[in-house]
Structure 1
Amino acid sequence: MEAKVDAVKVNVVSEKDRYARMEHEIKSFGNNAREKITIMENQLLDELKEVSEKHIEQLTADLKLGEMSVQMYGQQTELIDQILQSECDMDVYEMYQGCEAGDVDAVGDVDVKKRGRIARVMFRQNEEIMSRALDNLQLGEIVVQYDGMLNLWAAPLSQDTSNVLDLKGAPLLQDTINVKVAGDKNNVYPFDLTVLPVNGTDTVVLTDYNNNRVKSFYTRNKQRHHSKLQLGSRPWGITRLTHYQVAVTLMHRRQIVTVEVNPDLVLLSTITTHKQYWGITSLTPSTLAAGSDSDKCVDILDMRGNFLKSIKPIDSGKEIIHSPEFLCTTRTGNIFVSDSGSKRVLCLTAEGDVVFTYPTTGHTTLRSPCGITSTSTGDILVTDRSEHSVVHLTESGQFVRNILTEDDSVLYPHGVCVDGRGRVYVCTWYPDEIKVFPFSNSV
């Protein structure tokens, strides 16, 4: 008991030191946030000072010109009075011609006719954007771990939580979800999807590329329901942020939107980025990975869209990322990239190292790789649109088998994901549906 007491005393000291360090970190994050706000404030003040000084300078110049004009008009008036009192008609005529020519007016009008004059300076404050930015500001969170709990501190945000999926079993088509809903003006092109357990209700959320919408589908009281959120551009990739939030890329805009799923959809925020992104995945609760087709890279971003790092791996002197259209995060925090341009699946670390590529260079067996997901056991599922199949790879990138094919009514598959009950969800383009497959021993 004395030994335990001594151990507790040591633990108390170490914990106090750790709490002091955490307190310092919180204050440091707060100071950094305040410093950034102060920098933005000073930038605005400097800009205001510059334009205000220029404006006042222009007004002062106008004032001087006006005073000069008044003085010159006064002198001209005195001269006119003197000439009118004279008996010389020629002097009167010459004065008349001078007034008609507007010699004095030209002095005061030169600066007025110049371009680039400031008419008015205003301060435009967007309270909505500022309020949203403050609401989304995160200094961090206090995580309490109790005895017997699994330590999730600094763990990667897994996209799937299944621990009962038996990929050795035979697939069984359990459900088909028609993704065309009222108000759709165009054919539905379901690109990517994820499944969230919202308050115990499995909710499927997908991106409808052709109708500029994100949609959710769920069953309540044995009745199927849906929700739709209209966006200003075509959505592409989707990733789960929390059990009730997702992030979606808008491929034709430099934007990522965050959406609340409850299970109806509510737009939370619009994140402006410096590039257009396609595939997206959540690495940690505070970072995202997004694929750029134009820049041929995978970028690491924070939750405000700030660029942190760009990944452009090289193999044999050539860049190996071409079209990173679909991404997912592994249980170890690596990034899987489904690259339709190179017809390969890439496994990258967050630092940019290449873990493996499938298939190896020069040996292509994927014709059109699309959606990709990773299970809690590390297995990889990737869809092949042209081959009408879902390919099963091991965690190290070894081919196992095609677990779903055209014989399973999987035609032109795109997005794929796994839920917490061991079911595989696949977006198909013919027809436009979501097909749900449990496997044997996982129903």
Structure 2
Amino acid sequence: MESDIKSSGNKAREKITFKENKLLDELKEVSEKHIGQLTADIKSGEISVQMYRQQVKLIDQTQQSEFDMDVYEMYQGCEVGDVDAVGDADLKDDGRIAKIMFRQDTDQLSRALDDLQLGEIDVLYEGVLDLKATPVLHDTINIRVAGDGNAARPIDVTTLVVNGTDTVVVTDCKNKSVKSFFTKTKQPGHSKLSLSSRPYGITKLKHNQVAVTLPDTSQIVTVEVNPDLVLLSTITTNKQYLGLTSPTQSTLAASVRSPPSVDILDMTGHMLRSVKPVHSGKNILQNPRFLCTTRTGNIFVSDCRSRCVLCLTPAGDVVFTYPPTGDTTLTLPWGITSTSTGDILVADSSQHSVVHLTESGQFVRNFLTADDGVLNPRGNCVDGRGHVYVCKCTLGEIKVFSCSNTV
């Protein structure tokens, strides 16, 4: 960050130095032209003085002559000598410089320097998301953009801060694309990356990179976020993966519907192990969809068919399931995310709600409901500014709620 700040200062100084040198070059050019004109004036004056001296000498000689013809010839010689100064013709073509001045609007310069922004220090706080507070609708992002042939259908979402720009990245399965939405230089912007097939899950790999599943073509793509989107690589997998998370910098965890499992992959798509937790002789997973990684490295899985949320260790052991067997608290769990404090937010699509669970899988409350405008939610995520993002699949929107415990 120190390097980035110094780099911003250097770039600003380089631009100022460039403008300074440009003005100096312009001054040098016009000064040389003016000096050339003044030099021509001096030369012309010297010629005139020499000519007048000759005329004075001629007049003196003529006054001593006794012939009228000599006086007449002297008069004609003086008339011929009264000509334009040397170099005047050349000066008329380019215009004669009368004065050179340096005009400067010091007030404008002062305002420009005051408005100069090298950047700002941005601090993201842990615990800024106050899940006890009443969520307030902060923004609605319509993800349909120019060029979309179909109604937008957001499935999963994540957020990044790229070069100081808050960026929302979402998968749009109907338009076979990944999209980013951001505000840059106080102007809203977006980017669209078209893909070969429908995208589904998304996870953040680095501060400016995400990975996206393409189940129809058994692929995972990595995308750079600038915040404009750039395709980095395409990873071919042996299964049609849906949900995606990144437990470590070198591994991915992905859910597959048939046969149901959560697979741990390396960054080339090679499967390291397949997790198929069993309870009473039956596979707990029936249709795993969304995944997320907790602060302790565990993996949360939402299963829409078994209507539960599982917490798995990186080795695949079951930490807990919510709700307990036989409980029907959840009816269609989809999107799932974990906060910096370890709390869990699960989107229940059929109940039009987002459920708040503790890190140990205890129900707290319905954090968002249909009264908050949450209809058929899919993917969800949180950022470091106290915002919760929820994909409204049927309306092609992302609802952004604010629940911050800081001003």
User: Same-fold call, TM > 0.5?
Assistant: yes
- Aligned partner of 2:247 in structure 1 is 283
Output the CA distance in 2 between the equivalents of 1:409 and 1:359.
Answer: 25
- Aligned partner of 2:16 in structure 1 is none
Output the CA distance in 1 between the equivalents of 2:216 and 2:330.
Answer: 27
TM-aligned CA deviation for residue 431 of structure 1: 2.3
TM-aligned CA deviation for residue 402 of structure 1: 0.7
> What residue ranges of structure 2 are gaps of 5+ in the alignment?
1-123
- Aligned partner of 1:223 in structure 2 is 187
TM-aligned CA deviation for residue 364 of structure 1: 1.5
TM-aligned CA deviation for residue 429 of structure 1: 2.4
- Aligned partner of 1:168 in structure 2 is 132
Structure 1 ranges of 4+ moved more than 3 A:
none
- Aligned partner of 1:311 in structure 2 is 275
Output the CA distance in 2 between the equivalents of 1:268 and 1:352.
Answer: 30
Output the CA distance in 2 between the equivalents of 1:403 and 1:223.
Answer: 32
TM-aligned CA deviation for residue 384 of structure 1: 0.6
Asked whether the equivalents of residues 170 and 440 of structure 1 are also in contact (C-alpha less than 8 Å), the reply is: no
TM, length-normalised to structure 1: 0.63
- Aligned partner of 1:23 in structure 2 is none
1:332-347 to structure 2, matched below 5 A, reads 332-347=296-311
- Aligned partner of 2:289 in structure 1 is 325
Code of the aligned partner of 1:243: H
SS at 1:279 equivalent: strand
SS at 1:326 equivalent: strand
- Aligned partner of 1:382 in structure 2 is 346
SS at 2:239 equivalent: coil
The CA deviation string for residues 202-247 of structure 1, in whole angstroms up to 9 with x for no partner, is 1000000111000000011221110000000110000000000000
Output the CA distance in 2 between the equivalents of 1:351 and 1:211.
Answer: 36
Q: Give the direction of change, closer, same or farther, for the CA distance of 1:344–1:442 in structure 2 (3 Å limit).
A: farther
SS at 2:246 equivalent: strand
SS at 1:235 equivalent: coil
Code of the aligned partner of 2:190: H
- Aligned partner of 2:328 in structure 1 is 364
> Pick from 174, 196, 203: which aligns with 1:232?
196
Output the CA distance in 1 between the equivalents of 2:280 and 2:338.
Answer: 28
TM-aligned CA deviation for residue 254 of structure 1: 1.3
SS at 2:399 equivalent: strand
- Aligned partner of 2:67 in structure 1 is none
TM-aligned CA deviation for residue 440 of structure 1: 4.8
TM-aligned CA deviation for residue 161 of structure 1: 7.6
1:56-95 to structure 2, matched below 5 A, reads none
1:194 aligns with 2:158: yes
- Aligned partner of 1:354 in structure 2 is 318
Q: Give the direction of change, closer, same or farther, for the CA distance of 1:275–1:161 in structure 2 (3 Å limit).
A: farther
Asked whether the equivalents of residues 161 and 376 of structure 1 are also in contact (C-alpha less than 8 Å), the reply is: no
Asked whether the equivalents of residues 142 and 398 of structure 2 are also in contact (C-alpha less than 8 Å), the reply is: yes
SS at 1:174 equivalent: strand
1:297 aligns with 2:267: no
Code of the aligned partner of 1:280: L
The CA deviation string for residues 321-369 of structure 1, in whole angstroms up to 9 with x for no partner, is 1111100000000000011111100000111110000001111211111
Output the CA distance in 2 between the equivalents of 1:321 and 1:397.
Answer: 17
TM, length-normalised to structure 2: 0.69
Asked whether the equivalents of residues 131 and 367 of structure 2 are also in contact (C-alpha less than 8 Å), the reply is: yes
Which of the two has higher C-alpha Rg? 2
Code of the aligned partner of 1:294: S
Q: Give the direction of change, closer, same or farther, for the CA distance of 1:272–1:312 in structure 2 (3 Å limit).
A: same
> Pick from 173, 176, 192: which aligns with 1:212?
176
1:414 aligns with 2:378: yes
Asked whether the equivalents of residues 297 and 312 of structure 1 are also in contact (C-alpha less than 8 Å), the reply is: yes
- Aligned partner of 2:142 in structure 1 is 178
SS at 2:381 equivalent: strand
> Pick from 372, 391, 394: which aligns with 2:358?
394
Output the CA distance in 2 between the equivalents of 1:440 and 1:240.
Answer: 23
Asked whether the equivalents of residues 164 and 442 of structure 1 are also in contact (C-alpha less than 8 Å), the reply is: yes
Output the CA distance in 2 between the equivalents of 1:161 and 1:198.
Answer: 17
TM-aligned CA deviation for residue 442 of structure 1: 4.3
Output the CA distance in 2 between the equivalents of 1:442 and 1:373.
Answer: 21
Report percent identity of matched pairs.
68
Asked whether the equivalents of residues 206 and 215 of structure 1 are also in contact (C-alpha less than 8 Å), the reply is: yes
- Aligned partner of 1:243 in structure 2 is 207
RMSD: 1.2
- Aligned partner of 1:203 in structure 2 is 167
Code of the aligned partner of 1:415: G
TM-aligned CA deviation for residue 257 of structure 1: 0.2
Output the CA distance in 2 between the equivalents of 1:300 and 1:430.
Answer: 31
